[in-house]
Chains A and B, each alone.
Chain A
């Protein structure tokens, strides 16, 4: 399942509420990095564990296995057998979830802080001694097939998305959906899972963030007791594939019965933290954040060509895609909406953006920051995201300076550099192909 990670910006000077120094950090002997933020506004805490493994680490034949693995982490280990992880956690007032993206797998636990030791015990058991019960593998296969199918049943956009992604990439593993292809889901084996566990689920490939009504010393004591004895693993092999430059526009059509067409356009863009990242991120907001954004105000409100438009720039370790998507208004052709979107991006390339627009998106980022810092879950997720994608959680606190440097000209420049015909993939989903 694709999960959009929360993105935010902040400056220590601007926001006395949370400072870089409030986040404490230590590393266990096995290489596991742990971050702690004390916040006693509610008598609860959380524990987020981020593993540097996602569908980008897969290969053809085992697509979707990262996500399948995410599910298997709940199906029994040594001390706590099948079903016990959830039963024990819930009986102690806790709940949990998890998500997998192209890049990472995250496990999230939310609990009254009085139950923290149980949570450590449960996590340590499954990291050290996960067990693969063949019966659980088979029933979980059914669950995943249902998860995949219900996504497609309820969303034509998801169907188009999968096809466009698979068309835009020719070499990199970002080409397949996180959920995987159906035939792979039906056929991966217990051995595939075991290999995956031993390759990626070592403490040195994981970072942990704990926020809430906790004390650093207590977290340290429990981390040393439960997590430190788990042996480190070999460093996983790096992903070396580089997507070659796209040499011309690609077009793809998906047939599905719908009341009006769905469209998608993608462009290859650099990864999170790269030189053009901040300008591209602001461009993404200018295009689609809020009712006054370029695409919404023009294509939905003014021209009435679409009932929905959006853009998406995912966090990514490797060069990724900037996605544009939309649902046509009644009677509008897919190509009409595609052309109108391109017209809007061409306008930015030609005329640039206004200073007011630039200020607006910077204000929107500031708002996102405050909203994130209001909850302990927002903080844990964001600290983890920055540590993973920027290699330093402190970047979270210098980001405003990084954003401040972005000028209107930078945004025009990155639009011109990346939103080109050659770099573009276009997808239309409709009942019949347009003539």
Chain B
């Protein structure tokens, strides 16, 4: 494969756009009497219907039980008053579908895609899973044991876990440091009572939304929703919605060195604080990041991969959340090339501040983000996901409908302003996973060293 597909976007909903030609298709939005927000969008090119639901609580609400939000999301499918776990799995598979439930840091969610003709058979099951999960203790115990084994296996892949270490370095004791899939100790402490409490606090119609996109008729879909979701009521006190994260710039550079004894590569992230999901400049920030590390010809990939042959890929991105965010450069290299790759990554990054961006490069990046945008919204699932993300992050349709305008408004002087405002310049934070004994001296060069063993529980 030529390259790992570049993640251009701040988040999936934002990348680029050719406006005037591509707008968000029409949809209806309304609130049901119980407070559930509903988005309905007809799209009839294939006989499929996509459903996306979001619920208020994500891993930032884990509290002392690390992994609770993710575990609870999966446990929705462990059984309901009317269906056993096996029945839920079998029904969805029989009709050619899968039911997915998940948590992110900010929220939890459910997605599925159904053949239109099977909608009436599966929609009642979705209702049961959301409204009447029973969280059977035996299924919880079985899953806990496997979950813990999975956490151990995940550490066999540095690239699968490095972001959790990086978030720990950046956010310290704030909730955005919570690892999405938890820790072994956290998961071991989960039981039916704790899950039920989390469900009651975080799954309620008022803090949830459902979007349905596909081949259906809006008025009859409304009756389906009335029939199945109108009866949903909050089952307990709700967690408070908002909280504030104070992000102070770092007063020193630090290096989080994670020892993996059998590593023959060093996997690394370099960065600092980023932006929140609702940042008004994020489209333009994304264009700048495209130049730095968001496409194949980006500066980072060009230097580290194409010119130096040090790595298969180097990139950068903003990972944005509701109340916080990070920015990071990411790459990997053979252990013996660690210093060369880190030096080159930092040197290339500093070009942003030292030389800034020229007009030709900016023009190319603007064309690129606009040209690559429409396929991101080609499918009913992508559109359904966008609508529920609007709900969670308080975005409006201008994110799509004015994308091109915002991209076009970016000129060289604004670009350089954005660089100085949003890209962390001083006291960069490093996370390295590799063989510590061979790279410790190099690591020390970049900042204050904090060391940890990959086999230790958590991050």
- A positions within 8 Å CB-CB of B: 1, 3, 17, 41-44, 70-71, 74, 83, 86-87, 90-100, 110-112, 115, 138-147, 149-150, 152-156, 256-260, 289-293, 297, 300-301, 304, 307, 327, 329-330, 356, 359-360, 363-367, 370-371, 373-377
Partner of B2, one of A97, A360, A376: A97
11 extra A-B contacts, CB within 8 A, seeds A143-B312, A146-B309 = A43-B18, A92-B367, A112-B374, A138-B309, A146-B310, A147-B1, A149-B264, A150-B312, A292-B89, A301-B142, A370-B46
B46 touches A374 (CB 8 A): yes
Given contacts A83-B302, A376-B378, contact A146 B311 (CB under 8 A): yes
Q: How far is the CB of A73 from chain B (nearest CB, A)?
A: 8
Q: How far is the CB of A257 from chain B (nearest CB, A)?
A: 5
Q: In the complex, which residues of chain B have a beta carbon less than 8 angstroms from the beta carbon of A150? A: 159, 265, 312, 332
Q: How far is the CB of A378 from chain B (nearest CB, A)?
A: 9
Q: How many Å lie between the Cα of A145 and that of B308 in the bound state? A: 13
Q: In the complex, which residues of chain B have a beta carbon less than 8 angstroms from the beta carbon of A139? A: 306-309
B265 touches A149 (CB 8 A): yes
B371 touches A115 (CB 8 A): yes
The stretch of B33-41, B93-101, B102-110 that contacts the partner chain: B93-101
Partner of A297, one of B2, B89, B156, B368: B89
Q: In the complex, which residues of chain A have a beta carbon less than 8 angstroms from the beta carbon of B375? A: 42, 44, 110, 375-377
Q: In the complex, which residues of chain A have a beta carbon less than 8 angstroms from the beta carbon of B160? A: 154
- B positions within 8 Å CB-CB of A: 1-3, 5-6, 18, 21-22, 45-48, 85-86, 89-90, 92-98, 113, 115, 142, 145-146, 148-150, 152-153, 155-160, 261-265, 267, 295-297, 302, 305-312, 332-334, 363-364, 367-368, 370-372, 374-375, 377-380
Q: How many Å lie between the Cα of A360 and that of B367 in the bound state? A: 45
B332 touches A146 (CB 8 A): yes
Nearest B residue to A178, CB-CB: B1
Nearest A residue to B377, CB-CB: A42
Chain A CB count within 10 A is highest, among B267, B363, B378, for B378
Q: How far is the CB of B190 from chain A (nearest CB, A)?
A: 17
Nearest A residue to B154, CB-CB: A259
Given contacts A44-B374, A291-B89, contact A17 B45 (CB under 8 A): yes
Q: In the complex, which residues of chain B have a beta carbon less than 8 angstroms from the beta carbon of A293? A: 93
Q: In the complex, which residues of chain B have a beta carbon less than 8 angstroms from the beta carbon of A111? A: 371
| Interface of B (DSSP majority class) | mixed
Q: How many Å lie between the Cα of A240 and that of B3 in the bound state? A: 32
Q: How many Å lie between the Cα of A370 and that of B43 in the bound state? A: 13
Given contacts A90-B295, A110-B375, A304-B146, contact A43 B22 (CB under 8 A): yes
B364 touches A292 (CB 8 A): no
Q: In the complex, which residues of chain A have a beta carbon less than 8 angstroms from the beta carbon of B85? A: 301
Q: How many Å lie between the Cα of A17 and that of B116 in the bound state? A: 14
B96 touches A70 (CB 8 A): no
Q: How far is the CB of A364 from chain B (nearest CB, A)?
A: 5
A374 touches B378 (CB 8 A): yes
Q: What 8 A-B pairs come out closest when comparing CB atoms?
A: A93-B371, A142-B309, A367-B96, A139-B309, A91-B364, A363-B96, A1-B1, A291-B89
B297 touches A297 (CB 8 A): no
Q: In the complex, which residues of chain A have a beta carbon less than 8 angstroms from the beta carbon of B311? A: 143, 146
Nearest B residue to A259, CB-CB: B152
Q: In the complex, which residues of chain B have a beta carbon less than 8 angstroms from the beta carbon of A74? A: 2
B93 touches A292 (CB 8 A): yes
A307 touches B307 (CB 8 A): no
Q: How many Å lie between the Cα of A289 and that of B89 in the bound state? A: 11
A93 touches B5 (CB 8 A): no
A147 touches B312 (CB 8 A): yes
Q: How many Å lie between the Cα of A147 and that of B363 in the bound state? A: 31
Q: How far is the CB of A286 from chain B (nearest CB, A)?
A: 11
Q: How far is the CB of A228 from chain B (nearest CB, A)?
A: 27
B153 touches A141 (CB 8 A): no
Nearest A residue to B375, CB-CB: A44
Q: How far is the CB of A310 from chain B (nearest CB, A)?
A: 14
Nearest B residue to A357, CB-CB: B94
A154 touches B158 (CB 8 A): yes
B89 touches A375 (CB 8 A): no
Partner of B334, one of A146, A257, A365: A146
Q: In the complex, which residues of chain A have a beta carbon less than 8 angstroms from the beta carbon of B113? A: 367, 371
A257 touches B262 (CB 8 A): yes
A366 touches B96 (CB 8 A): yes
Partner of A292, one of B90, B263, B368: B90
Partner of B48, one of A70, A304, A360, A371: A371
Q: In the complex, which residues of chain A have a beta carbon less than 8 angstroms from the beta carbon of B145? A: 304, 329-330
Q: How far is the CB of B317 from chain A (nearest CB, A)?
A: 16
B96 touches A86 (CB 8 A): no
Q: How many Å lie between the Cα of A154 and that of B160 in the bound state? A: 8
Nearest A residue to B77, CB-CB: A291
A359 touches B94 (CB 8 A): yes
B94 touches A258 (CB 8 A): no
B149 touches A307 (CB 8 A): yes
Q: In the complex, which residues of chain B have a beta carbon less than 8 angstroms from the beta carbon of A112? A: 18, 370-371, 374
Nearest A residue to B151, CB-CB: A259
A95 touches B93 (CB 8 A): no
Q: How many Å lie between the Cα of A364 and that of B45 in the bound state? A: 19
B142 touches A304 (CB 8 A): yes
